[in-house]
């Protein structure tokens, strides 16, 4: 049973990485949980201990995971029923990247 769930999740990630998954799946089922995990990482490591030994590895992990999702969301943005969601998602992705840059530069 667990191996079937793992296989299904793996299929979703592979399809998303190739830009073949529906945007809502990438946005809500990958992006929202990923954002929650990265927020916890930011609050507990990056924000509290900027001079610790864990800071650089945590920052690299944060950036890699975030931009992996950005790539998947960008490629899957056209996979919607209504074209307006493609434009909305592109705007939200760009605003998110700009916000991340601002946050990292000011921290």
pLDDT in tens, 20-39: 999 999 999 999 999 999 99
For residues 38 and 32, give the distance between their C-alpha atoms in angstroms, rounded to a whole number: 10
Tokens linked to 37: 């995990």
Chain-centre distance of CA 99, in angstroms?
A: 13
d(Cα 21, Cα 78) in Å, to the nearest integer? 10
Q: How far apart are CA 102 and CA 107, in angstroms?
A: 8
Q: CA angle, 107 as apex, 70 and 56 as ends, to 5°?
A: 70
CB 10 within 8 A of CB 66: no
Q: What is the pLDDT of residues 91-102, one digit of tens each?
A: 999 999 999 999
Is pLDDT at 48 greater than 90 in this prediction? no
- What domain range includes position 65? 2-106
Residue recorded with tokens 């296989």 = 7
> How many domains is the chain built from?
1
pLDDT averaged over the chain?
94
| Of the candidates 62, 58, 72, the residue with the CA atom closest to the CA atom of residue 19 | 72
The closest alpha carbon to 64, from 43, 40, 34, belongs to 34
């Amino acid at each position: 049973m667990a191996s079937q769930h793992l296989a299904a999740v793996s299929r979703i990630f592979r399809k998303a990485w190739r830009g073949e998954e529906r945007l809502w799946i990438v946005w809500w089922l990958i992006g929202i949980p990923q954002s929650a995990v990265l927020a916890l990482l930011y609050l507990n490591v990056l924000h509290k201990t900027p001079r610790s030994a864990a800071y650089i590895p945590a920052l690299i992990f944060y950036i890699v995971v975030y931009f992996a999702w950005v790539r998947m969301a960008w490629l899957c943005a056209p996979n919607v029923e209504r074209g307006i969601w493609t434009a909305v998602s592109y705007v939200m992705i760009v605003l998110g990247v700009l916000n991340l840059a601002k946050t990292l530069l000011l921290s």
